[in-house]
C-alpha cells in the first residue's frame, strides 16, 4: 500500500510514528512539505527562547498512548526549563520542534529498515485526482506520486485581517516567528496587539524578552485573558470519562450538554467541591478586572481543586467526540461562551502569567475591551473600544483563525479533493473524507469544535488514521482521544 502524507508538521510526525510502530504495513510513503522547517509545522520552527510550548511534557507527546515519550526525549535537559510554579519543564517551542524532527527521523529509519521506501518531496501539493483504482497526487512543479491512500496533515489557517490593515506600514499581519517580526519594532514605540489569547500572550512575553520599553495594549472584543495552568494532580476523572460519554450516546443516540455538565458536577460532588461556586468563578472571567484575576490565578496554581483541571482535560480529550454529537442548540450555547471556554481549555503557562502580571503592575501593559475597529492614522494607528480611542505606533495581529480554516497553501488541493468527490466540505467548517482512501489529521477535520487541537488530540487522530489505513475504519477509536495523561 503506497501512502502520501501531505504536509509535514506535528500531525505528519504522529502519522509516521504510528506507521513505524505497526509492522503490518507495506509499500512506499511519500511526504510532501514545501517549508524548510520540515516536521516543525507553523508553531515549532526556530524562534525566540521566550516563545514556549503551552503545556507540560505529558501533554506534548506526539506518540499516541505514550505520555512519557516527549519527557524521555527531553531527559535531564528539562531541568533547565523548569516552570517553578507548575513544577514541570516548559520548553521553547523551537526545542520542541527538534523533538518532532528526531521523532520523524527515527520513524523514517525504522520504516526504511523494514524495507519501506520513504521519500520526501520539498513541494506544495496542488491537487489529488482519481486514476484507475489509485490516487494521483500532483505537486507544484509537476512532481507527484500515485498512491493508494492520502493523509492530509496541512494544519490550519493564518490570522484573519479583521480591520483590513494588510500592507499598512507598522502592521504585523502574522507574528510568527517572533524573532523576525518583533525584532523590527523600535523598543520605545507604543504597541497595540489585536487579540488577548495565547498568541497575544506570546507577543507580550516576547516583547518583554526583547527589552521593549514602550506601552503595550491588548485590543480585544471580550477583553478576556486565558486562564492560568494549574499544577497537574494525580487524581483521575471518575465520572467525566470517555466511557461515560460513549454510554450517553448509546442510550440516547446523542449527547446533551446538560448530561456533560451533570458528569462534571458529579466529579466536584465526589471531590467535595462546590459546583455553583466553581461555575460562578468561571463566569466572572467575563467581567472581572483581568490583572486581578491573573493575580488570583497565579496564587492558585497549586490549589488542589479539580474543577478547572477536569474541565480543561475534558475539553481536549472528550470535546471533539462529544461536540459532533451535541444537538445544534447545545452547540450554540457553547459558541456563545467560546472565548471563556477556549481560555479554560488552553490556559497560559504560569511563567508567562507572572510576566504579564508584572507588566500590568508596572503600568506598561493594559487591555482595551469592546474593540470595534483599528484604523491607520498619520503613520500610526487609532483603535476604538469601550474606553474610547487609543493610539499606537505599531499593531501586531494576534487573532487566531478558527480551527477549521483552510490553510492558504492547501486551497487548490482542497478544491481538487472536493471536485473529485474524494472529500466534502462539512456544513460547519472543515473537510470530511468522502472516500475511505482519504484521511484528515489535524484541525481541518470536518465538524470539529472551536478549540484548536492539542498535541495529544493530533496524536490520537494520527493513530486512528493509521489504524483505518491498515485495517479499515472499524479500527478507529470511537472517542478519538487518549483517555488519560
Ligand atoms: C502558534 C501555535 C502554537 C501552538 N502551541 C501548542 C502547544 O504548545 N501545545 C499544544 O498542544 N498545541 C499547540 N498548538 C496547537 C497544535 O499543536 C499545533 O497547531 C500543531 O502544530 C498542528 O500540527 P499540524 O501538523 O496539524 O499543522 P502545522 O504544524 O501547521 O503543519 C502543517 C504543515 O502542512 C504544510 N502544508 C500546508 N499545505 C500544504 C500543501 N498543499 N502541500 C504540502 N504541505 C502543505 C505546511 O507547510 C505545514 O508545514 C499550537 C498552535 C499554534 C498555531
Q: What is the pLDDT of residues 231-281, one digit of tens each?
A: 999 899 999 999 999 998 888 788 999 999 999 999 999 999 999 999 999
**Cis amide bond preceding 177, omega within 30:** yes
Res 474 pLDDT > 60 = no
- pLDDT above 70 covers a percentage of the chain that reads 97
Place of cell 526504511: 112
Return the pLDDT at 473.
59
Residues 6+ apart with CB under 8 A from 298: 85, 228, 350, 353, 354, 357
Q: Atom 53 of ligand 1 has which residue's CA nearest to it?
A: 43
Average the pLDDT over 49-68 and give the result. Answer: 95
Q: Out of 5, 46, 154, give the residue to mutate to test ligand 1, the one with the largest number of ligand atoms within 8 Å of its CB.
A: 154
Atom 51 of ligand 1, nearest CA residue: 43
Segment 446-465 mean pLDDT: 92
Q: From the CA of 40, how far away is ligand 1's center (Å)?
A: 8
Average pLDDT over residues 190-194: 98
Q: What is the dihedral of CA 79, 82, 88, 94, to 10 degrees?
A: -90
Integer Cα distance of 390 and 101 in angstroms: 44
> Which residue did the predictor score with more confidence, 32 or 428?
32
Predicted pLDDT of residue 109: 98
- HEC per residue, 339-391: HHHHHHHCCECHHHHHHHHHHHHHCCEEEECCCCEEEEECCEEEEEECCEEEE
CA 371, 373, 377, 381: dihedral to nearest 10 degrees? 40
| pLDDT for position 481 | 41
Task: Please say if the pLDDT value at position 475 is more than 50.
Answer: no
- Of 110, 46, 56, 58, the closest CA to residue 88 belongs to 56
Task: Give the tens place of pLDDT for each residue, 363-376.
Answer: 999 999 999 999 99
Q: Which of 5, 7, 416 to mutate to test the pocket of ligand 1 (most atoms within 8 A of CB)?
A: 7
Q: What are the tens digits of pLDDT across the range 157-176?
A: 888 899 999 999 999 999 99
Dihedral pair phi/psi, residue 290, rounded to 5°: -70, -35
Q: How far is CA 466 from CA 25, 39, 294, 324, 389, in A?
A: 9, 18, 42, 21, 53
Q: Report the pocket of ligand 1 as residue ranges, CB < 6 Å.
A: 6-12, 32-35, 41-43, 53-55, 124-125, 153-156, 176, 407, 409-410, 413, 442, 452-455, 458
226 alpha carbon to ligand 1 midpoint, in Å?
21
Residue range 107-123: mean pLDDT, rounded: 96
Closest atom, ligand 1, to C-alpha of 93: 8
Which of 452, 353, 485 lies closest to 11 in space, CA to CA?
A: 452
204: buried, middle or exposed (CB in 10 Å: 19+, 13-18, 0-12)? buried
Q: What domains lie within the chain, and their CATH numbers?
A: 3-158+402-475 (3.50.50.60), 171-226+349-397 (3.50.50.60), 242-345 (no CATH)
pLDDT band for 53, please (50, 70, 90 cuts).
very high
Residue partners of 7: CB distance under 8 A and separation at least 6: 32, 33, 41, 152, 153, 154, 155, 410, 442
Q: Tell me which residue has its CA closest to atom 4 in ligand 1.
A: 43
Closest CA to 313 of 483, 131, 85: 483
Report whether pLDDT(480) > 90.
Answer: no
Q: Where are the beta strands (DSSP E) in 186-227?
A: 191-194, 216-219
SS3 228: strand
Pairwise CA distance, residues 426 & 422, whole Å: 13
C-alpha cell at 220: 480585544
pLDDT, average across residues 70-92? 96
Per-residue pLDDT reduced to its tens digit, 315-363: 998 998 899 899 999 999 999 999 999 999 999 999 999 999 999 999 9
Amino acid at each position: 500500500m503506497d501512502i502520501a502524507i501531505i504536509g509535514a508538521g506535528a500531525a505528519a510526525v504522529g502519522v509516521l510514528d504510528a506507521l513505524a510502530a505497526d509492522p503490518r504495513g507495506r509499500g512506499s510513503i511519500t511526504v510532501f512539505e514545501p517549508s524548510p522547517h520540515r516536521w516543525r509545522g507553523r508553531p515549532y520552527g526556530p524562534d525566540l527562547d521566550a516563545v514556549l510550548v503551552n503545556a507540560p511534557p505529558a501533554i506534548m507527546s506526539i506518540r499516541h498512548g505514550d505520555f512519557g515519550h516527549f519527557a524521555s526525549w527531553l531527559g535531564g535537559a528539562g531541568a533547565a526549563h523548569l516552570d517553578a510554579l507548575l513544577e514541570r519543564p516548559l520548553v521553547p517551542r523551537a526545542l520542541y520542534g527538534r523533538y518532532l524532527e528526531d521523532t520523524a527521523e527515527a520513524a523514517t529509519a525504522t520504516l526504511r529498515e523494514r524495507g519501506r521506501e520513504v521519500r520526501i518531496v520539498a513541494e506544495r501539493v496542488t491537487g489529488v485526482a482519481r486514476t484507475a483504482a489509485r490516487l494521483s497526487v500532483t505537486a507544484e512543479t509537476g512532481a507527484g506520486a500515485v498512491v493508494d491512500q492520502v493523509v492530509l496533515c496541512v494544519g490550519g489557517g493564518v490570522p484573519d485581517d479583521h480591520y483590513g490593515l494588510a500592507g499598512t506600514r507598522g502592521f504585523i499581519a502574522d507574528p510568527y516567528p517572533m524573532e523576525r517580526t518583533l525584532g523590527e519594532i523600535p523598543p520605545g514605540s507604543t504597541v497595540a496587539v489585536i487579540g488577548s489569547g495565547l498568541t497575544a500572550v506570546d507577543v507580550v512575553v516576547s516583547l518583554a524578552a526583547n527589552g521593549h520599553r514602550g506601552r503595550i495594549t491588548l485590543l480585544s472584543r471580550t477583553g478576556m485573558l486565558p486562564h492560568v495552568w494549574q499544577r497537574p494532580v494525580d487524581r483521575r476523572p471518575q465520572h467525566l470519562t470517555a466511557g461515560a460519554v460513549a454510554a450517553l450516546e448509546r442510550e440516547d443516540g446523542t449527547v446533551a450538554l446538560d448530561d456533560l455538565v451533570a458528569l462534571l458536577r458529579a466529579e466536584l460532588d465526589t471531590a467535595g467541591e462546590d459546583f455553583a461556586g466553581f461555575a460562578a468563578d468561571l463566569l466572572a472571567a467575563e467581567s472581572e478586572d483581568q490583572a486581578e484575576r491573573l493575580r488570583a490565578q497565579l496564587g492558585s496554581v497549586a490549589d488542589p481543586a479539580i474543577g478547572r483541571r477536569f474541565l480543561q482535560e475534558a475539553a481536549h480529550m472528550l470535546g471533539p467526540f462529544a461536540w459532533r454529537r451535541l444537538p445544534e442548540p447545545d452547540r450554540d450555547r457553547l459558541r456563545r461562551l467560546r472565548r471563556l471556554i477556549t481560555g479554560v481549555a488552553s490556559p497560559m503557562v504560569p511563567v508567562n502569567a507572572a510576566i504579564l502580571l508584572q507588566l500590568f503592575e508596572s503600568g506598561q501593559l493594559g487591555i482595551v475591551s469592546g474593540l470595534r475597529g483599528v484604523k491607520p492614522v498619520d503613520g500610526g494607528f487609532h483603535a476604538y473600544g469601550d474606553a474610547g480611542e487609543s493610539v499606537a505606533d505599531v499593531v501586531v495581529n494576534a487573532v487566531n483563525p478558527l480551527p477549521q480554516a483552510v490553510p492558504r497553501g492547501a486551497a487548490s488541493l482542497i478544491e481538487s479533493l472536493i471536485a473529485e468527490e474524494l472529500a466534502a466540505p462539512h456544513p460547519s467548517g472543515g473537510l470530511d473524507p468522502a472516500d475511505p482512501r482519504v484521511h484528515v489529521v489535524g484541525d481541518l477535520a470536518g465538524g470539529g469544535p472551536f478549540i484548536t487541537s492539542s498535541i495529544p488530540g493530533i496524536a490520537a487522530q494520527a493513530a486512528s488514521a493509521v489504524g483505518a489505513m491498515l485495517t479499515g475504519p472499524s479500527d478507529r477509536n470511537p472517542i478519538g482521544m487518549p483517555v488519560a495523561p
